[in-house]
Structure 1
Amino acid sequence: MSQRRRVYPSAEELRVWREFIETAEALRAELAGRLQEDFALSPGDYSVLLALSEAEGNRLRSSVLAAAIGWERSRLSHHLGRMERRGLIRRVECAADSRGAEAVLTEEGAGAFRAASLPHLREIRELFVDPLTPEQIAAVGEVATTLRAGLERRRGRP
């Protein structure tokens, strides 16, 4: 009888999967709650502000921004509208192509991002880095890289 690969995860594999998912969600929720409470920023706001702060001229086409943060363009469009009403970004017609729009980081948005960044990074250290050994950090990095590569291969990306 040849050995067949199990079709379903074992009880132990499911336990590890559940621990992984629940812990990741608890970390995200804690970080999100702190960002919201301390700086009135959602994780989505922070992702947009980070991408724009790193972009040349603090501006990106909406399609490029959506790809950079892994969002659908319709979700991003609604989110940018809310951020624009709060003065964190502004949307302008794309200089190179009048059919597109660019999101531009405002001074208020840059200030909100700067104010939140160092405390947010300290919280990442407190909640994620400090509880782990350097070896565990390296192992988590390897696991994340392997999982992401597998997902990208399934999506047909190199």
Structure 2
Amino acid sequence: METSSTENAPWLTAEEQRLWRAHLEVSRLLMYQLERDLQPFGLATNDYTILVELSEAPKRQMRMTDLATATLQSKSRLSHQITRMETAGLVTREGCPGDRRGLYAVLTDQGWETLRQVAPHHVRNVRDHFIDRLEPEQIASMYEALAPIAERLRTLRGRG
């Protein structure tokens, strides 16, 4: 009988397990808290992420397919998200010249103003819940440790 690859998978050491679980807990708790911090503004984390992506894009617009990739959402889920944000007046959809099926998500003036109002609070919360909990050398070390992992995951995402 052939041995499955899962039976041969190397188990995490106690130290690796401790790191992995701490990472999961911090990720979940941090995103939960940042989501709660956005609620008084009527935004969810995905809304804020979309507003930021659009604000940094040329002409404050992105093709829906590119926005889905940038925000790690399926095209279907992003479409529903954009519909909700259109209803709130934060974004609009516009056709792509030369591509009848393509659509742009476009940041409205109201969406821009909302981002300008919310961003200082969000940055303050990121600082309070995360950045200010670390010493400068820890920030540098964490970046050095996480950057290659992020690069590897971006590469894998590109294949899928």
TM-score (norm 2): 0.87
Equivalent in the alignment of 2:3: none
Equivalent in the alignment of 2:96: 94
3-state DSSP class of the match of 1:145? helix
3-state DSSP class of the match of 1:93? strand
* Aligned-pair CA distance for 1:87: 1.0
- How many residues are aligned here? 152
Identity of aligned residues (%): 40
- State how 1:1-150 maps to structure 2 within 5 Å: 7-37=10-40, 39-150=41-152
In structure 2, the gaps of 5 or more residues are 1-7
3-state DSSP class of the match of 1:98? strand
Whole-angstrom distance in 1 between the partners of 2:99 and 2:87: 24
Deviation string, structure 1 residues 49-100 (Cα, Å, up to 9, x no partner): 0111111111111011112222221111111111111111111111231211
Whole-angstrom distance in 1 between the partners of 2:21 and 2:107: 38
In structure 1, the gaps of 5 or more residues are none
* Aligned-pair CA distance for 1:154: 4.3
* Aligned-pair CA distance for 1:148: 1.4
